[in-house]
Chains A and B, each alone.
Chain A
Amino acid sequence: DTAVSQTPKYLVTQMGNDKSIKCEQNLGHDTMYWYKQDSKKFLKIMFSYNNKELIINETVPNRFSPKSPDKAHLNLHINSLELGDSAVYFCASSQDSEETQYFGPGTRLLVL
């Protein structure tokens, strides 16, 4: 009965590859987010979707493309992976009226 789940938990890949991270929430929330936590532990928002529409797009390279097939899912596709993409990626969701964000367990991406 996990509220926000992410797959995979760990992802090790080579530079230049394309990879996807999936996120699903079963809370019935309208809004979903992607955050990146780098090696210095700074957590920074990347994207936010509300009812499948993009509402926040921070200065993230075009190689990162979020896709929301429905309200319960927000996937992150990354093209041409670079060493600097190595980080922990967290998905989160919230219901607008409640404002509280619930985070997933994170996906640890290592680019070699």
Chain B
Amino acid sequence: DAKTTQPPSMDCAEGRAANLPCNHSTISGNEYVYWYRQIHSQGPQYIIHGLKNNETNEMASLIITEDRKSSTLILPHATLRDTAVYYCIVRLPHPPYNQGGKLIFGQGTELSVKP
């Protein structure tokens, strides 16, 4: 499985956009980029995922570079409730890959949204 590199921590002012970078230079062609977050003492929560194209949903936007070696998660208007550890994960789809179901979590980025 490809590894990801994220800054250990970031700060963001409330109401501003939070841009969380992720490096996945060894990603393979079949691997998706997933983002999860974990708010203190809770289970991880799915945010968004993509393969090649940029994606947007009600929570965030995902920008993937053309060479797919890095991506950025954008929270357009960060609130205090967005304070959490954000994990960038690359994984194979399951099916067809039997081991593709597992998520391999790194250290993530601890995002602090400040008033």
Binding site for B on A (CB under 8 A): 4, 31, 33, 35, 41-45, 48, 50, 55-56, 58, 90, 92, 94, 96, 99-106
Contacts and interface: CB of A to CB of B under 8 A. Distances in A.
Majority SS of interface residues in chain B? loop
Given A41-B85, A90-B44, A106-B42, A101 B103 contact: yes
Contacts of A94: 101
Interface residues of B, number: 22
A44 B105 contact: yes
B94 A99 contact: yes
B112 to A, nearest CB: 15
Nearest to B45: A103
Interface in B12-44: 32, 38, 41-44
A50 B99 CA distance: 12
B95 to A, nearest CB: 6
Contacts of B94: 31, 96, 99
B49 interface: yes
